[in-house]
Amino acid sequence: MWARALNRLLSHLFKQGRLSVTFPGGDTRVYGSGAGGPEVAITLHDENLPRRIVISPDMAVGEGYMDGRLTIEGDDVYGFLSLAIMNIAAQGQPWFRRPLETLRWLKRRFDQFNPVGRSRANVAHHYDLSGELYDLFLDADRQYSCAYFARPDMTLDEAQAAKKAHIAAKLLIKPGMRVLDIGCGWGGMGLTLARDFGAQVTGITLSQEQHRVANQRAEKAGLADKARFHLMDYRDVAGQFDRIVSVGMFEHVGVPQYDTYFDSVRRLLAPDGIALIHTIGRAGPPGATSPWILKYIFPGGYCPAMSEAVAAVERHGLVTADVEVWRLHYAETLRHWRERFEANIDKVRALYDDRFCRMWRYYLIASELTFRLNNQVVFQFQLTPKQDAVPLTRDYLYCGEDGGLRHAAE
């Protein structure tokens, strides 16, 4: 029964390219015309996989690959996920899976319910992994968010520096300004604002590892008097700041906390202050996070539709001064991360094991292809309580001497 149901699902989904599937009993079936996409062959080694894939394709395929119960010919994860994502984006779900997708939608608010204790556990799951792991695929500054490829020939380090410069320009920072960095990571953004712009930076994170490393970096750079990093939730911050920056943290907030988040931004921002919120988002309507991503990569995570984020902004006395949408910048960032990870996979295996290597590679490839093939984007929201706090045009962003602040054509 479940093999027949899976056959129906695959027949519905795969129109472009060609997918060859060898079922647990040894029967091989082919799906797709062969045109307009890659050709990939997979083998299902577990008789329970057809049932699990029909019920939850994301979870079953991801876990099956991690555990070796689903193998891909030539280990061509990139080709397989390219084929799957492009067809799922084009065809959508068949009618018999729609009730299951509705249940997933209804469950999303529970998945995204992130009180302080749960948020701390979610952050530890991902960001308190070995620092050596992140050194093996990130840039030298450990920027774990979308880079800005102002020129297509930029290296990863150049594009990450350009991202920080672009954000600093939007913040219009002057020496001595008090800056709050919500979700400060390993301190790269805050240290840049302190060192290059003379800001007084307060960074907050829920990751013990990031907190330790960020303060060590500040001490080593001689910036401990200008940049301090605290193990703290955004809901517990007190005081007032001239600028607020948050890069790659909003994805961990969850829709049920959006009002609390933007109320906190408004409460902490000076009357003429500016906030810059940089987040992964979806170009389409609201959705739900992949259950595999929720379980293994980012518990509690969700990438918002613009409508969800802006609706919450509107309820809390903040003016949306600018919204910028970065489309394929994150796909290119993830390509660099994937290539670095694959080049260092033996070192990763020494830190963890083969299963972890398969999981992390699958995560990086799936993320890259979601940006390339399924309309995932990055939003930058520039917010302020005061209508005229920022210039009336974007010209100020593109007049600097730094190549990261110039159009790619220049």
Q: What CATH number should be reported for the domain whose range is 2-92?
A: 3.30.1050
**Secondary structure class of 31 (helix, strand, coil):** strand
Q: Which fold has domain 116-405?
A: Rossmann fold (3.40.50)
Model confidence pLDDT, tens digit, residues 117-173: 777 787 777 777 888 999 999 999 999 999 999 999 999 999 999 999 999 999 999
**Largest separation between any pair of C-alpha atoms in the chain:** 69
Closest CA to 13 of 96, 97, 87, 95: 87
How much of the chain exceeds pLDDT 70, in percent? 92
What's residue 407's pLDDT? 37
Lowest mean pLDDT among 74-78, 89-93, 219-223, 240-244: 89-93
Closest CA to 166 of 154, 29, 178, 376: 154
Phi first, then psi, for residue 282 (nearest 5°) are -115, 135
Angstrom CA distances, 381 to 9, 168, 307, 378, 399, stand at 39, 13, 12, 10, 21
What's residue 91's pLDDT? 78
Looking at per-residue confidence, does 281 or 409 come out higher? 281
Average pLDDT of the residues in 240-251: 97
What's residue 408's pLDDT? 34
Average pLDDT of the residues in 190-217: 97
Model confidence pLDDT, tens digit, residues 14-69: 999 999 999 998 999 999 998 888 999 999 999 999 999 999 999 999 999 999 99
Cβ-count burial 29-49 (b if 16+ within 10 Å, e if not): eebbeeeebbebbbbbeeeeb
d(CA 321, CA 90): 34
d(CA 361, CA 65): 11
Is residue 100 over pLDDT 80? no
Give domain limits for the chain.
2-92, 116-405
d(CA 170, CA 167): 5
Residue 96's pLDDT band, with cuts at 50, 70 and 90, is low
What's residue 44's pLDDT? 97
Closest CA to 108 of 339, 331, 294: 294
Angstrom CA distances, 354 to 136, 137, 362, stand at 16, 17, 12
Q: Do domains 2-92 and 116-405 have the same CATH topology?
A: no
Closest CA to 312 of 356, 336, 282, 277: 277
Model confidence pLDDT, tens digit, residues 296-349: 999 889 999 999 999 999 999 999 999 999 999 999 999 999 999 999 999 999
